[in-house]
Amino acid sequence: MPRSSSGTGRDAEPVRIIAFDHFFNQDLAALREGLRSDERMDVLPYRRLHKVAARHFPKEAFATLSGPFEPAVEPRWEAYRLAAQAFTDWVDAAYQPSVFVVPNDGFFYLRPVIARFRALGVRTVVVQKETTIAPLTMDEDSRVILRTTPFMADAMTVCSERHREFALRTGAPPEKVVVTGQPRFDFYARARGKPRARTGMPLVLYLSYDDLSYLPADGSLGSWRALRTETERVLSALASERTIHVVAKYHPQQQVTDDALGPAAERPPRDADTRHLVAEADVIVGFQTTALFEAAVAGKPVLYPAWGPVYERAAHLLIPFADHPELARHARSPDELRALLRGGPLDRPGRNAVALAEAHLGPVDGHATERVLDVVRRHAVERSPVPPPSPSPGRLATAALRGAGVPLAGAAAVALRLMSRPALGEAASRHAGYWLQEAREASVIAGRLLAAVVVGRSRAR
């Protein structure tokens, strides 16, 4: 049943959030910091569900927005829906959430989980993780999403009015979409005005990108490979001659793994917090990334290296940084980029640049987390004390066995890292974390089942 109308939770059970983490950890960390003492958030790594989906769908289904709905894939759905239902029942039995929080309800393999939670009486709130909407995304992707995976949650928070427009184009009812700002950007409001020690060479944060970012997936307009390589060669040369110190940040979902930056560049882990890197940098160099707007609200000079025939063909599809010199200085060639980086201090973005950035990011006033949590709390429900359908003994046993294998997986992760196999080591460590979480869930479920049996026998007497 619905919670108290006040939303304070004083006359209702505490809010219990189960959150689906698909490259969403910064927003979730902000939300967790904003929880009240009697509220709880548990996090479900997206890969646990993705692995289930990968057993049912071919790789092609994950490649495009329409891929999962092609006629050849249709027969796979019936079995997957049953598997997704079993997965949801397991999660529900372990956590008994009062609300389900996701970064997007358009992931095709997540939608049956949302539907099952609805059948169990649990509402879903999309805390939309995406921010800037490029013209191609606004015009073309919105039509595909409306046709294939339209809005299905109970509410959605978005960062800005522009993103709200995109949500409406994908089928969201206006009354269900609330502009709140982005929880992770509260960081910049808190960081403003904090002094930073400046020593040594200027620190340049370079934000790498994929070969087809914001381009048609079929490659019909070409690739960014040449532009990216030319940009990186400039950075590499300046870093080698100790004119600048380069920190190169890859996006967590980036497919490209090579670069031309050379040995002088620093490469933090993919999951490093971009916000902290922006705050520590003297200059930001990037192409089609929201982080350029983040740099503006953080008061950092921005260089936008963009040139060549592919750029000329595709400029109308891109976020128009080149049209806003108040926010980003457009470098139109490798020589111009080199000259700008050698030329000493660059102008910081002014008031107009910050206003433009906030048109894309939403209000950066330090209160987005509060506004989002207010929406989440309004959609939390009080759960019935009756336990949901319980998993089979075999499923519980499998989870317990996986828990027993956690030490072995952890040891394998250490060994692989020592053998200079960091990617495999990271995978082993990740699986150890999944197995440990499943084992803990199995323990909770078994305990609740046992308690239900004891209560049932006591009542029978």
**Residue 268: other Cβ atoms inside 10 A:** 15
**pLDDT tens-digit map of 321-380:** 999 999 999 999 999 999 999 987 888 888 999 999 998 999 999 999 999 999 999 999
**pLDDT tens-digit map of 260-279:** 999 999 999 888 899 999 99
| Residue 459 pLDDT class (50, 70, 90 cuts) | low
| pLDDT for 453 | 65
Torsional class of 59: left (φ above 0), alpha (ψ -120 to 50), beta (otherwise): alpha
| pLDDT for 213 | 85
Q: Whole-angstrom Cα distance, residue 370 to residue 367?
A: 5
Amino acid identity, residue 317? L
| Residue 88 pLDDT class (50, 70, 90 cuts) | very high
| pLDDT for 7 | 44
Dihedral sign (CA 169, 170, 174, 179): negative
Query: For residue 227, with 0-12 CB atoms within 10 Å meaning exposed, 13-18 middle and 19 or more buried, which class applies?
Result: buried
Q: Whole-angstrom Cα distance, residue 220 to residue 213?
A: 13
Between these two residues, 392 and 246, which has the higher pLDDT value? 246
| pLDDT for 412 | 77
Using the 8-state DSSP alphabet, how is residue 139 labeled? Answer: I
**Residue 113: other Cβ atoms inside 10 A:** 25
CATH number of 16-182+365-378: 3.40.50
| pLDDT for 387 | 60
Report helix, strand or coil for 2.
strand
**pLDDT tens-digit map of 297-306:** 999 999 999 9
CATH topology of domain 194-351: Rossmann fold (3.40.50)
Angle at 115 between CA 114 and CA 119, to 5 degrees: 115
| pLDDT for 10 | 41
Query: For residue 75, with 0-12 CB atoms within 10 Å meaning exposed, 13-18 middle and 19 or more buried, which class applies?
Result: exposed
Which of 405-442 are b and which e, b meaning 16 or more Cβ less than 10 Å from the residue's Cβ? ebeebbebbeebbeeeeeeebbbbbebbbbbbbbbebb
| pLDDT for 5 | 40
| pLDDT for 153 | 97
**pLDDT tens-digit map of 162-179:** 999 999 999 999 999 999
Between these two residues, 350 and 227, which has the higher pLDDT value? 227
Percentage of the chain exceeding pLDDT 90:
65
**pLDDT tens-digit map of 214-223:** 888 788 899 9
Closest to 189 (Cα-Cα) out of 367, 365, 371, 372? 365
Between these two residues, 213 and 237, which has the higher pLDDT value? 237
Percentage of the chain exceeding pLDDT 70:
92
| pLDDT for 421 | 78
> Which range has highest mean pLDDT (51-55, 186-190, 455-459)?
51-55
| pLDDT for 382 | 87
Average pLDDT over residues 202-227: 90
Q: What's this model's pTM, rounded to 2 decimal places?
A: 0.83
Torsional class of 262: left (φ above 0), alpha (ψ -120 to 50), beta (otherwise): left
| pLDDT for 198 | 60
| Residue 292 pLDDT class (50, 70, 90 cuts) | very high
Mean pLDDT computed over every residue of the chain: 89
Average pLDDT over residues 73-96: 95
Fold equal for 16-182+365-378 and 194-351: yes
**pLDDT tens-digit map of 3-16:** 544 444 445 568 99
Contact 248, 208 (CB under 8 A): yes
For the chain, the structural domain boundaries read 16-182+365-378, 194-351, 393-460
**pLDDT tens-digit map of 126-161:** 999 988 888 888 898 899 999 999 999 999 999 999
Query: To which H or E segment does residue 423 belong?
Result: helix 422-460
pLDDT at residue 195 greater than cutoff 80: no
Average pLDDT over residues 65-94: 95
Contact 425, 413 (CB under 8 A): yes
Average pLDDT over residues 235-240: 96
Closest to 114 (Cα-Cα) out of 75, 82, 88, 145? 88
146 token code pair: 């409306």
